[in-house]
Amino acid sequence: MIRLFVALGLPEELCDELSSMCGGIPGARWVPEENYHLTLRFIGEVPGWQAQEIDEALACIRAPAFDLTLRGVGTFQKAGRVAALWVGVEKTEPLMFLQAKVETALQRIGLEPERRRFSPHVTLARTERAEQGKVIAFVQAHNLFRAAPVPVDGFALYSSRLGKEQAAYAREVEYGLLEPKPAAALRA
């Protein structure tokens, strides 16, 4: 069995920018910079034969390259407590198109539909054990965060191995996106 998810990796400069914001919340478990990503679809544990089917389905996706912009900071709550701290991602048409193509491709090979609504974000920290006031102060201090747009020319299938402190992610297969057509070509 292998634990898989589909995601967009982030360029090193953007990861450095995100990492420089992190800290100052006792009890928070900060995501290591090398683990920053934007999940398009969590798959979970699958047998090896199904991983091969997943790879083949993802390789057939045709979607245009696009720019990705991170902005704002927020939280996810669980049982009335702030459980995670994240940076938001602008919902653009090309991003939503790619995510829908991934979801459709995986359902076609028999995976159950994703139950949660797609909420694009990059997780910065797990905050279940953090002082809630410090988490709220962090959000207030960084809520105007906005990174420069970065080009996205592909997505990847990742594996995840759970560890005591953090999961270890490995990029298993990369898939390219198509060059966007110039506006003049779209009108022709």
Reported as a single tens digit per residue, the pLDDT across 115-174 is 999 999 999 999 999 999 999 999 999 999 999 999 999 999 999 998 777 788 999 999
Which is catalytic among the residues 25, 37, 41, 120?
Answer: 37
Alpha carbon separation from 47 to 4, 52, 53 (Å, rounded): 10, 9, 10
Tokens linked to 13: 């400069």
Judge if pTM exceeds 0.85: yes
pLDDT given at position 164? 74
The burial of 71, by beta-carbon neighbours within 10 Å (0-12 exposed, 13-18 middle, 19 or more buried), is given as middle
Strands (E), 79-167: 81-89, 121-126, 150-152, 154-161
**37 counts as catalytic:** yes
Reported as a single tens digit per residue, the pLDDT across 47-71 is 999 999 999 999 999 999 999 999 9
Instruction: Give yes or no for residue 179 having a pLDDT over 90.
Output: no
Q: Could you tell me which CATH class the domain 2-181 is placed in?
A: alpha beta
**121 counts as catalytic:** yes
- Which phi and psi (to 5°) does residue 176 adopt? -85, 155
pLDDT given at position 167? 83
Letter string b/e over residues 77-87, b meaning 16 or more CB atoms within 10 A of that residue's CB = eeeeebbbbbb
Q: What is the C-alpha separation between 135 and 77, in angstroms, rounded?
A: 12
Categorize the per-residue pLDDT at 181 as very low, low, confident or very high, splitting at 50, 70 and 90. Answer: low
Which is catalytic among the residues 58, 121, 152, 156?
Answer: 121
Instruction: Give yes or no for residue 26 having a pLDDT over 80.
Output: yes
Of the chain, the percentage scoring pLDDT greater than 70 comes to 96
Q: Which residue bears the tokens 């920018």?
A: 17
| Spans of all domains in the chain | 2-181
